Each structure stands twice: as C-alpha cells, then as structure tokens.
Structure 1
Amino acid sequence: MSTTDAAHNEAALGFIGFGNMAQAMARGLIESHTCSGSRITACAAHFDKLQKNAAALGVQPAQTAAEVVEASDLVILAVKPYQVAQVVESVRDALANKIVISVAAGCDFDFYETILASGTHHLSTIPNTPIAVGHGVIACENRHSLTEDEYALFTGIFGQIALIEPVDTKLLSTASSVAGCGPAFAAMFLEALSDAGVKHGLPRATAYRLASQMMLGTAALQLATGEHPGAMKDAVCSPGGTTIKGVAALEKGGFRSSIISAVDATKGE
C-alpha cells in the first residue's frame, strides 16, 4: 500500500451542510467501502433532521461547524452558495490547517481567497448526484492551493466514486451545466423513452429497466472506447431501418437544439 493509499484509508471527512449532495457523496463513499461512516462527521442547520439522515448512513452528527472541522482532515463545504461566507466566518481560523473542498456552485478560487484565512488550502468542485452510486462526476477548478499530496489524497478518495475532471475557472459553470444539471435532463429522456415503451405495451417497471440499462451501457461504451457519439449512433442506424427513422423523428422535433438550449438556459443565455 502506498503512502497516499494509507492516508486516504485513514483520512477523516467532514461535511458542513448535509443536504442532498452531501448525502449523495457520503453514501457513495460508504457504499463503495472507500470510507466508513465512523470517519465522516456532518453538521446541518436542523439537528433533528441531521440525526436521522446521519443515522441512516452511519455518519457522526455534530452540533456545530467547529466540531466538524476539529474532527476532520478534509472539510467539505456543502451549504448553499449564499451561506458560504457566513459559515466560513465562524471557523475561518480552524480551516487554515485543513484541506477545504467546496461543492458550492459559483464559489471559485478567487472567492475563497477573500473569505478564508491566508494560506488555507482549498479546491472548488461541482459534483453530481450519481456519485451516490459510485458513478459520479466531479468537475473541479484546475486552479487551487492544495499541495501535490493533498490533491492526491482528494483524488484517491473521490476518484473511487466519480470521474474527476479539472477545468479552467471560466469553464466550471459550463461543466456544471453538462454534468451537474445533466442528470435531470437524462432522467427526463429516460422517463420519456419509458413512457413510449408503456404506450406500446411494456410494463412500466420493464420499460424503466430497459431504458436505464441502455443509458448506462451506452455511456460505459463511450467512456471505454472514446468513440465519437455520432459514430456510435451511425453503428445502430441500418439503411432504411427503424433506428434511422426514429433518429429523423428526433431531429424533426428539435432534439439536439432543445438540449443545447437547456444548457444555455442554465447559464442565463
């Protein structure tokens, strides 16, 4: 076992904020056996709700952000973006000796440089919800202040449950639109495809399984081969066959332009 492997097997994680994304991250780490719940501490605004959510995962609940920071090597800031500055203020000095990972959208390196103590090591990221089942994406800003070993610790832990994709600061919001908002768009496609199956006689549970496995398999095939999606589409479209007729119907309905417009909408364009 390497030094980095040993470190990530022993590192303690803390979540300041334990909403849907933080719980998805914790679940992914625990269910993949990357990290036990006993090594994860979390706090949230409503302690009663936190206790229930923490108990479901075996995570340690804390009353305050200060308790989380004290118990953790890596501190994940998982509150709403507008709450970040206020939350950090109460633990600013304590965070100076920790690895700080942000999952708050729109909070980049320059922002944290203004609210964290000078010299604090931090990295801004945008994860997505499939991280809960070990198939996530974490887009991260390629500008950060982590040391080489600290960054290796971060990737060693979260690389077990997500593709980690560094991008330029100016592209972080676009990466968030594609990977972070994308699960909602994909779920809509899954639902629509399943509805079509039901319309033509498939039981709904069967339609969902077929559509979900098809999406999983198609994505896995592209990642494994690096093949252009257009070539993958062409490989299924026999001349005069049923698939090309379906593709033509999608094009007639503005399928591609609708997806692009959806991403544009997330960016306010």
Structure 2
Amino acid sequence: MKTINELKIGYIGFGNMAGAIAQGLINSGFKASNMYAVAGHFDKLSEKCEKMGGINALLDPLELASASDIVFIAVKPNKIKDVITPLAEALSEEKVVISIAWGYDFERYFEEDVLKTGTHLICTCPNTPVSINKGIFVAENRHSLAEEELKSVEELLSNLGRLIFVDTKLMGASGTVCGCGPAFADLFMESMADAAVMYGIPRKTAYEMVSAMIEGNAALQLSSGKHPGEMKDEVCSPGGSTIRGVAALEEYGLRAAVIAAIKAIQEK
C-alpha cells in the first residue's frame, strides 16, 4: 500500500464518529484534501467538510469508493444494507474497508451479502476521544486484510489513540465499554463537579479539576499497569477521608449501577 500520508480516505456517512476520526487524523498531520465524505444531507456535509479544512464533500458514494484507498463504513447499522450493498462491487476492488458500524461483525457483512466475498474488511468500534488522538479503536481479530494492509491500518488508527484487538464474541461488550463508557464517565464527572459547586467551587474550575483528575489517574493506571483496586488502596489511609467516601459510594451502589448499565445495553 501507499505510505500513510499518501493514502486517500473516504467516509460513507459523516456523522459525529466519522467526523471525530477525520479530526483526529487531521490533528496527526493527515491532509484534509486527501479525505472524501458522503452523507445524506449534502449542504450540511459541505459546510462541515469546509470547516474541517477542506475535506472533499461528494454526492456520489461510487465516486468516493473510486477515489479512496481506505473506506470507512460509518452509517447507522439499520441503513447498512440499503447504503452499502449497491457499493459492494466498488468496495471489493483493491480497497481496504474499515467498518465502524456497531453490531456488524465481519461474518455478518458476508452472511447478509452486504459485501462481496474477498473484500478486504476489518470491523472496529471507536469512541469519540479519537478526535483528540486519545481514543480507543476496538478491532475484531477476524478480518480479511493482507499483512501489509493490516500494518497500514494499525499505523493509521494508532494515530488516533489505542488500537485493541479482541475476539468476535467480545466485540459487543468491548464496544459497550469503550463506545458507551464515555457517556458514563461524563455523568460521573458532572456529578463530581456538582458536588464541588455545592461547596463553593466555581463551575468552570470544578470541571477542570474533575477532568484533570480523571485524566491523570487513567494515565497513571495505563503507565503503571496496577490493578485499580491497588491504586484505590494506596489513597485510602486507615480512618481517613477517602475511605469514608469510598464506603459511601459502596453504600449507594456505584459498582452495581455501573455493571447494570453495561448489562442493560448488552441484553437489550
């Protein structure tokens, strides 16, 4: 394949997640002019692409497929068959296809005849922090990329954060944790900030404090590899303030609520 900077990248669907991916790539030095996008509302698409530095807004998905080396499938799962099936022939011709449609795994694309056998496909689930190159791409272990193609995809997606491969059976839960998890973290951050405001800390300062605290603590865990429980114990002095707060969180069911949230999505 071409070098990363030479690749032409297309987005079929250009909603929040596709836009986040494009923004992250632009942040990493990728040229907006080397990207193409199609979406349902061309006027809105054109405005968005212009604001992002000159991404090429196209009307015809077939034109996008022809122009692109790598094509992101970024339409809603319930529209996959209608939108992608007519493009199957074009996507099978020496293209790398990266699906970010949650719920569509590798096998499903071919079982439902959405894509032609032999299409070079990898299925993933990203989250929105890819827009600032701090995201996660969970990728299915099963794919049909050649070795060189896989290396290029790994290099491309690693610019956006962490790339983590999992077995097919774990894609659903992994997508829930990584894709829905930011909303749960946002709720926690908002709650912490509300408490800070209740005790007089200005709202803007409270958000800055809470976000920086979570960012630093997450970075510490990733750097050290320590079990979160061990990190918690290091902060909880006997009879101290932190263990009292931890006890209150346990009393009000923080762990159970978080697990229930994941379960609610997985069992929907």
CA distance in 2, matches of 1:110, 1:234: 44
Whole-Å separation in 2 of the counterparts to 1:95 and 1:106:
20
**Offset from partner CA, 1:85-134 (integer Å, 9 cap, x none):** 11122211110121000000110111112321121110110000111111
The answer on 1:208 being equivalent to 2:207 is yes
What value does the CA root-mean-square deviation take over the aligned residues?
A: 1.0
* Counterpart amino acid of residue 103 in structure 1: I
Paired letter, 2:160: I
Does residue 93 in structure 1 map to residue 92 in structure 2? no
In 2, the alpha carbon distance for the partners of 1:118 and 1:235 equals 53
What TM-score results when the alignment is normalised by the length of structure 2?
A: 0.96
Aligned partner of 1:50 in structure 2 is 45
Among all aligned residue pairs of Structure 1 and Structure 2, give the percentage whose two residues are the same amino acid.
46
Q: Give the equivalent residue in structure 2 for 1:105.
A: 102
Q: Which residue of 2 aligns with 1:239?
A: 238
Match of 1:22 in 2: 18
Equivalent residue letter for 1:130: P
Q: Which aligned runs of 4 or more in structure 1 are off by greater than 2 angstroms?
A: none
Q: Say if 2:27 is the partner of 1:31.
A: yes
AA partner of residue 41 (structure 2): H
1:76 maps to what in 2? 72
The alpha-carbon deviation at position 32 of structure 1 amounts to 2.2
Residue of structure 1 in register with 2:193 after alignment: 194
Q: Take 1:129 and 1:161, find their aligned partners in 2: how far apart are those partners?
A: 10
Separation in 2, partners of 1:216, 1:60: 34
- Does residue 155 of the first structure (1) align with residue 154 of the second (2)? yes
Q: Deviations over 1:2-37 (max 9, x none)?
A: xx7x6112111000000000001101110222x110
Amino acid in the other structure paired with 1:243: T
Please point out which of 8, 13, 29 is paired with 1:12. 8
Shift of 1:229: 0.2
CA distance in 2: counterparts of 1:40 and 1:217, whole angstroms: 33
Report the equivalent of 1:61: 57
Residue 49 of structure 1: how far off its partner (Å) = 0.6
Kindly provide the amino acid, as one letter, of the partner of residue 66 in structure 2.
Answer: E
Give the residue type in structure 1 aligned to 2:87: V
Pairwise CA distance, 1:162: 1.8
Q: Which amino acid aligns with 1:123?
A: I
Counterpart of 1:223?
Answer: 222
Unmatched tracts of structure 1, length 5 or more: none
- The one-letter amino acid of 1:161's match is L
SS in 1 for 2:72: strand
Distance in 1 between the 2:209 and 2:217 partners?
12
Paired with 2:45 and 2:28, the residues of 1 have a C-alpha distance of: 22
The one-letter code matched in structure 1 to 2:89 is D
Q: 1:139-154 residue pairs with structure 2 within 5 A?
A: 139-154=138-153
What letter corresponds to residue 184 of structure 1 in structure 2? A
Whole-angstrom CA distance in 1 between matches of 2:71 and 2:87? 11
Question: Structure 1: how far apart are the matches of 2:151 and 2:222?
Answer: 23
- SS at structure 2 position matched to 1:143: coil
Q: Deviations over 1:59-80 (max 9, x none)?
A: 1101111111111100000000
